Structure 1
């Protein structure tokens, strides 16, 4: 039998890795990881795919699950925003909330994952695995800052009758830029400055959601009323989130711009981004192939049915990707290890891109989506 019939041997020959004390990130990825197997090979593929997204000027979305900012991931996100490598973001409320600690120099420290949590609680120390956050000096202080900035935006009539979470975070970011000691350390501030929309579809499931929900109570305390006044609510609309995110994808489609996504973990941010294709095709009825390129960095298993572990190829049946097995890769790695390497590889190998400024274009492109949808009825 001809052993080359199926091209089994077309892959690189594996050799013992050659490390060098002066290696760059690019050399580590291209000369070491790319010649290995397992998740080192997948990580190299992810680095190369992210570079391809940027080189083709794709509209790139970053989805961010869990709580990555307390361990400092926000610094890498800021750099990706500044270089024009990320055009829009979908994340959890936790990441936006903890991101702001650094702008206001509120205490966040390395800790011990084996600590006595009863003892920590007695000393007002909040633990996120091996990260310590001060209840009073950080969390309570942050809550008051968010409430103050949001209340001022309400007083200044900055919120329209209906608005998305992207609009809320644009407004909050403007407040951070004006009041924080170190706004350059906040990705929310950087996103606002560079017109990168930040969607938080689980807005209510966060300390920011809790803090803004308290504002009507504070307003009624001043008035002496026990009935909440709708004008005091700061209530981002899920409908606007769905329409504006779909509009970003639709805008890329009509201008023949490729679309790519780097998914950090899974959860709601992953699904919210990936539902944009089905929103356009399944609900509106216009053809949409989904995302051209997808990278997911996760440690979750696919066989339990949880979305965080769902393979990208599974999304083909939903219309979330054009073709299974092409243009996507999943390195099964801790995101705090894999994502900084992907970011660093891009910084070494890609030129800065012109900002797409999708944030300021959201009203216009949403109207275009609605117009196209009505013509399709």
Structure 2
């Protein structure tokens, strides 16, 4: 057996067990959340956060923003987020490029994430073209297929600036036509007119494909499409202005969290004095507050900036993959699978302006 065959065999061994994404419909977390509400510490925090999310869903005037940072999608929460869109339990998504491209769009193309049953030396993983997220593996060759698919989508578009929302909508359209997974957040968002924003879009596999697009076009002396980050901020602020009351369900923090919170301030700068701060806010994070960050401040601290309401907010200091399934399952069952909630379809706001 030659070295290539040995490597192929070893790679197949390491990529033998796929991550199975949790299905919040298969279990009813309401009794667990109710019991946790009678406890203390993080259990009670989670129960209160879940009650706040249910309040958002029951508030007929509330637009709900799902904000995702970190790697929970790769770790098994991907179908959870997709179900929230399918069940009309979120109205807009703000996320990292990795969440949307490297994880969801990647699986939409038919690729998988894998459980690391052992953690070999990372140099060995590199030699086998395996990327590691803690105890989860991705096949780098499959990820490059994602890069080149992004490149093909970019090559098919008119040469102009696009908000990340516009480009991700094109990705959703691509998955409708060519995808291999029905339960994709990007695909479902396209079908349900739920806009997705990635304020740092090129910090992902999309970046490689878009750079190649730009370089190839420049070599030909032709124009190219580009991602307009200012349009991202403007469009997301447009939704906040039009939505009235709003609620934030935030997993992690960082740029997506700060981006959605800043829409309130941006609306004020644009002269819309009556735009309310975010009425509800939940953040699940393991970040620490002592360095002044906590993935861009605690919710109480954000109130001093005029971004959120101090009355209906809850920080939950926990690893999101272990608590989001409980929160989401409780809400899904308590809200009849979202059947009684009116769809906002905020993506149509921009169709009218086109």
The normalised TM-score by structure 2 is: 0.86
Q: Give the superposition deviation at 1:210.
A: 2.2
Residue 357 (structure 1) aligns with: 345
Q: What is the rounded CA distance, in whole Å, between the counterparts of 2:238 and 2:270 in structure 1?
A: 13
Residue 77 (structure 2) aligns with: 73
Q: What is the rounded CA distance, in whole Å, between the counterparts of 1:50 and 1:177 in structure 2?
A: 30
C-alpha contact (below 8 Å) 1:25/1:345 kept by paired residues:
yes
Gapped regions of structure 1 (runs ≥ 5): 1-22, 368-377
Residue 165 (structure 1) aligns with: 164
Q: What is the rounded CA distance, in whole Å, between the counterparts of 1:187 and 1:102 in structure 2?
A: 10
Matches within 5 A, 1:1-377: 24-30=28-34, 32-57=35-60, 58-97=62-101, 98-112=103-117, 114-136=119-141, 138-152=142-156, 154=157, 157=158, 161-182=160-181, 184-220=182-218, 223=220, 227=221, 229=222, 231-232=223-224, 234-253=225-244, 258-282=245-269, 284=271, 286-308=273-295, 310-322=297-309, 324=310, 326-351=311-336, 352=338, 353-362=341-350, 364=352
Q: Give the superposition deviation at 1:204.
A: 2.2
Q: What is the rounded CA distance, in whole Å, between the counterparts of 1:150 and 1:193 in structure 2?
A: 20
Q: What is the rounded CA distance, in whole Å, between the counterparts of 1:267 and 1:113 in structure 2?
A: 30
Higher RCO (CA 8 Å, separation ≥ 6 residues): 2
Q: Give the superposition deviation at 1:309.
A: 5.8
Q: Give the superposition deviation at 1:47.
A: 0.9
Runs of 4+ in 1 over 3 A off after TM superposition: 282-285
Q: What is the rounded CA distance, in whole Å, between the counterparts of 1:90 and 1:116 in structure 2?
A: 34
Q: What is the rounded CA distance, in whole Å, between the counterparts of 2:154 and 2:78 in structure 1?
A: 22
Q: What is the rounded CA distance, in whole Å, between the counterparts of 2:332 and 2:51 in structure 1?
A: 12
Q: Give the superposition deviation at 1:102.
A: 1.7
> Secondary structure at 1:336's aligned position in 2?
helix
Gapped regions of structure 2 (runs ≥ 5): 1-26
Q: Which stretch of structure 1 is more off in the superposition, 346-355 or 57-66?
A: 346-355
Q: Which stretch of structure 1 is more off in the superposition, 300-309 or 349-358?
A: 300-309
Q: Give the superposition deviation at 1:112.
A: 4.6
Q: 1:84 to 1:145 in 2, by over 3 A?
A: same
Residue 19 (structure 1) aligns with: none
Q: What is the rounded CA distance, in whole Å, between the counterparts of 2:187 and 2:234 in structure 1?
A: 24
Q: 1:67-96 CA deviation, whole Å, 9 max, x = no partner?
A: 222123220111100111100000000011
Larger radius of gyration: 1
Q: What is the rounded CA distance, in whole Å, between the counterparts of 2:171 and 2:346 in structure 1?
A: 17
